[in-house]
Amino acid sequence: MKRLPKEKIAEVIVVEGRDDLIAVKKAVDAQVIITQGLGLSPKTLALIQEAEKRCGLIVFTDPDGPGERIRRWITDAVPGAKHAFLPVAQAREEAKVGIEHASTEDIQEALRQVRSPGREQGSFTKEDMRNWKLEGHAEASWRRHALGERLGIGQANAKQFLQRLNHFALLREDVEKALQEIGEKR
């Protein structure tokens, strides 16, 4: 069976651990930096900042609490970083969650849907979140999770979700269309 060439990605991809690196390298041709999980050192953070300056950066952390914490640290240090998100369902193996458990195809798809920071931030408000039942509603958590997967911005609490909507400068029409689609699926 002939293997197809892997897609080359110019940006450096940041992952949490060695097993994530192996899974990403199996899926695409790219340079990868490992954070060592929550043990992200100042030296590694400086390397990440330098990589972003030289060729760009894609943050691709696990869809769990520690992965989101690392993503925030890197975003604070490197505001121009791009982000790739993998839904929890695609990164789960029994009780474990991580990029290393995802299929090659799911990793490739997540990296195709990379989100870049937008120029126009602040167009979504807390009022939008309440009107769309993404905050202060019994189904808010489920709705944020489903919407985050549909928009390719991951799952987050209400405050972080609002920040992501604005950070990635999503179009209101796209958010409202995705909300209609998830409303029909429930």
Q: Look up residue 147 and give its two tokens.
A: 């919407």
What is the tens place of the pLDDT at every residue in 22-36? 999 999 999 999 999
Range of the domain at 181: 126-185
**Do residues 21 and 105 share a domain?**
yes
**Do residues 149 and 97 share a domain?**
no
Local confidence band at 167 (pLDDT 50, 70, 90 cut-offs): confident
* Percentage of the residues of the chain whose pLDDT score is greater than 90: 62
Q: Is the pLDDT of residue 154 over 90?
A: no
Per-residue pLDDT, 27: 95
How many separate domains does the chain show? 2
The Cα 179–Cα 69 span in angstroms is: 26
* β pairing state of 12-15 and 32-34: parallel
The Cα 173–Cα 186 span in angstroms is: 20
What is the tens place of the pLDDT at every residue in 39-56? 999 999 999 999 999 999
The last residue of a domain, from among 54, 88, 112: 112
The last residue of a domain, from among 112, 136, 161: 112
